[in-house]
Structure 1
Amino acid sequence: MGSEDTRLIVIRGNSASGKSSVAAGLREKFGRNLAIVGQDNLRRIVLRERDRPGGANIGLIDLTARYALNNGFHVVVEGLLYADRYGTMLTNLMRAHRGVSRCYYLDVPYTQTLLRHATKPDAEYLKHVTEVHLRDWYREKDLLSGGLETVIDADSTMDESVQQILRESGLDQVRPIDR
């Protein structure tokens, strides 16, 4: 799936660890031809589904990433993507991809996720997602089996994380296609 020229990047981590911001930063630095497959968008917006084992969103994330790769897009899959629920799909996706695949886990301590969460600009979201939710969702070092992930610590700035991923995936050497 995909081609030898496409890049697949997976960004996982707890709520408010910076996954969406890093994905957006990658797109900003790279340009067009970079598809962002966001777990929250597909699960919560498209399907309006709760995050449960065996949920329909797992297959939809897989299909969406494969479709984009097969059409020449580089792909960033981002979300909490709990290892026990999404690990098999992500591992199979990375194995099936013919190009460069890299997986990252943003390791941010719970206390820092609380601070980051409080800075989100969406007041309605802040009203509905509380500290209790963040505690329930938090999983310390929820790494995929097999050592597939590079851990990016909380002391890495967003720009440093973006630059690391661009460099390690080789996207910094690829020209974007203006579609």
Structure 2
Amino acid sequence: MGTEETRLVVVRGNSASGKSSVAAGIRDRFGRGLALVGQDNLRRIVLRERDRPGAANIGLIGMTARYALDAGFHTVVEGILYADRYGEMLQGLIRDHRGITRCYYLDIPYEETLVRHATKPDLEYLTQVTDAHLRDWYRERDLLPGDIETVIGATSRQEETVARILRETGLDRLAPVDR
């Protein structure tokens, strides 16, 4: 799947850990030719589905990433993506991708999750998602098996994390593709 030139980046972590902001930062810095496959968009918006084992969004995320890579797009898959629910799909993507693949886990302590959550600009979301929800969803170091993820801690600022991922994947040395 994909080509030897395509890059697959997986960004995982708990709610409010900065996954979506990091993924958007990667795309903003890279430019055209990079697909964002966001768990929240496909699960909550496209399918309006709850996050549960065996849910349809798991396959949709995998199929969307595969399609983008096969079409020549560098691809960032981002979301909470619990290891026990999404791990098999993610490991299949990693195994099948012919290009460079890098996986990152944003490791943010629960207390920092609460602080970051409170800064979200969407007031409707803030009233719907409470501290109790965040506590229920939080999984400490929910890493994929096989030591395949680079763990990035709370002290790494968003700009530093984006620059690191661009450098480690080689995206900082590639030209965007104007499609």
TM-score interval for Structure 1 and Structure 2 normalised by the shorter chain: over 0.9
SS in 1 for 2:85: helix
CA RMSD of aligned residues (A): 0.4
Whole-angstrom CA distance in 2 between matches of 1:158 and 1:119: 15
1:58 deviates by 0.4
TM-score normalised over the length of structure 2:
0.99
Report the equivalent of 1:153: 153
Deviation at 1:173, TM superposition (A): 0.9
Partner of 1:135: 135
Displacement of 1:102: 0.4
1:84 aligns with 2:84: yes
Identity of aligned residues (%): 73
Cα deviation, 1:89-141, whole Å, max 9, x if unaligned, reads 10110110000000000000000000000000000000000000000000000
Summarize deviations over 1:3-35 as a string: whole Å, max 9, x none. 000000000000000000000000110001110
Unpaired stretches in structure 1, ≥5 consecutive residues: none
Q: Structure 2 unaligned runs (5+)?
A: none
Q: Which residue of 2 aligns with 1:20?
A: 20
Partner of 2:3, secondary structure, is coil
Equivalence map 1:9-158=2 (5 Å): 9-158=9-158
Report Cα offsets for 1:43-84 as digits up to 9, x if no partner: 011001100000000000000000000000000000000000
SS of residue matched to 1:2? coil
Distance 2:87 2:164 in 1: 23
Superposed structure 1 runs of 4+ greater than 6 Å apart: none
